[in-house]
Amino acid sequence: MPSQSGKGRYTVCLDPTEPHCSCPDHEDGGHKCKHIFAVEYVVRRETNSDGSVTVTETLGVHGTIRKTYSQDWRAYNAAQTNEKAKFLDLLNDLCSGIAEPERQKNGRPPLPIHDALFAACCKIYSTVSGRRFMTDLRDAQLKGYIQKAPHYNSIFNYLENPALTPILSALITESSRPLEAIEVDFAANSSGFTTSRFHRWYDHKYGAVRQQHEWVKVHLMCGVSTHIVTAVEIRDKDASDTKLLPALVDATAANFKVREVSADKGYGSLNNYGAIAKHGAVPYIAFKSIHTGAGGGLWAKMFHYFQYRREEFPGHYHKRSNVESVFSMIKAKFRDHVRSKTDVAMVNEVLCKIICHNICCLIQKSHELGIDTLFWQEGGAA
């Protein structure tokens, strides 16, 4: 086979079990090079009745085979066409598990915590403005989901309440628990949601004013089978991914039996391996080029597994692609930006998006697997 650059030739041997080529690419990587793909063919020999041999050479045209997955369209269609009504039922049940806080003796009586949570999450689910959402809220009142339809400004005020953040985090945890018997493999990653605020600075080098969107960075862990979000951490936008993985693993292991955890190279550290192994799980985290097996223990074991089982390791590691799908699902359905202006409200708005995503996952799986979604079964009200 002549070189594409016109300098010399390469010898291609199309062995049925291990084809190889004399080019540097094939020798270094141990994989099929472009020369093998260019000349690969199947040789079939047939012996005729007169003893002659017919040799048939067939040119093989190779392309990338895209793997597809079957879809249960009946269950999918049923889930989508009934999602909104079922969403309101599940959201009502989920919010009912939050105990009403003690009211102050003086001042105007606050909105019940159930109604505040229901209105905030339902507002995010609708993806419309607060004023346009009031029609949906009045319909929810007529159906008995809330006692009184609050003013749209009241919804925004509740989102700005820092006391709402741990409650929303608890709702995310509880909304994932109906699938604890299904999920055993998990993936972690982070992504950002843009805001309406800008960061501006003067660039002395070019003599111009630059600006950049502020954004909320979300770290989460999800199940790779159902895409349910099991744990969330929201810190400042420059927070390190690596340091937040132990908290995500611990929160997930509190309700799920964790068998595998997959993540990208940014999560590779001895501390993270220890945090995963503590729960009896196996970390499938890709290694950087600078990494070695010098860490010993599980780190060394997984490093050698990564090096010498190159065909087997990706089957576990690439389960992490599901966490990318989760972010894509949330951003496509509930928008990739937040409308809130303050830091606390932006965090709470993102948490509401994740609650809505989890409820939608439960609706889908209830049609596919026949799972009954029941909240607050063991511990009672939060």
229 occurs within a structural domain:
yes
367 occurs within a structural domain:
no
At 5, the pLDDT band (50, 70, 90 cuts) reads low
pLDDT at residue 380 greater than cutoff 60? no
At 49, the pLDDT band (50, 70, 90 cuts) reads low
**Helices in the chain by DSSP H: which ranges?**
24-29, 34-39, 73-81, 83-96, 113-126, 130-142, 152-159, 164-176, 241-253, 270-277, 297-308, 313-317, 321-334, 343-369
Q: Are residues 180 and 321 in the same domain?
A: yes
> Residue 244 has what pLDDT?
94
382 occurs within a structural domain:
no
Q: Which residue has the higher pLDDT, 15 or 313?
A: 313
- The domain in which residue 20 lies consists of 12-59
User: Average pLDDT of 333-339?
Assistant: 92
Q: CB of 145 within 8 A of CB of 121? A: no
Q: What percent of the chain has pLDDT over 90?
A: 58
pTM of the model: 0.79
Neighbouring-strand partners of residue 221: 188, 231
**Over the stretch 75-92, which tens digit does the pLDDT of each residue have?**
989 999 999 999 999 999
Q: CB of 26 within 8 A of CB of 34? A: no
285 occurs within a structural domain:
yes
350 occurs within a structural domain:
no
Number of domains making up the chain: 2
> Residue 238 has what pLDDT?
84
Last residue of a domain, one of 300, 325, 350: 325
52 occurs within a structural domain:
yes
Q: Cβ atoms within 10 A of the Cβ of 24, count?
A: 10
Sign of the CA dihedral running 271, 274, 279, 283: positive
Residue 290 sits in a domain whose CATH number is: 3.30.420
CA–CA gap between residue 256 and residue 230 (Å, rounded): 9
The lowest-confidence range among 27-41, 111-125, 219-233 is 27-41
H/E run at residue 217: strand 208-223
Q: Are residues 192 and 319 in the same domain?
A: yes
Last residue of a domain, one of 289, 306, 325: 325
343 occurs within a structural domain:
no
CA–CA gap between residue 198 and residue 204 (Å, rounded): 19
User: Average pLDDT of 288-307?
Assistant: 88
> Residue 21 has what pLDDT?
82
At 43, the pLDDT band (50, 70, 90 cuts) reads very low
CA–CA gap between residue 100 and residue 116 (Å, rounded): 11
CA–CA gap between residue 21 and residue 220 (Å, rounded): 45
Last residue of a domain, one of 298, 325, 352: 325
89 occurs within a structural domain:
no
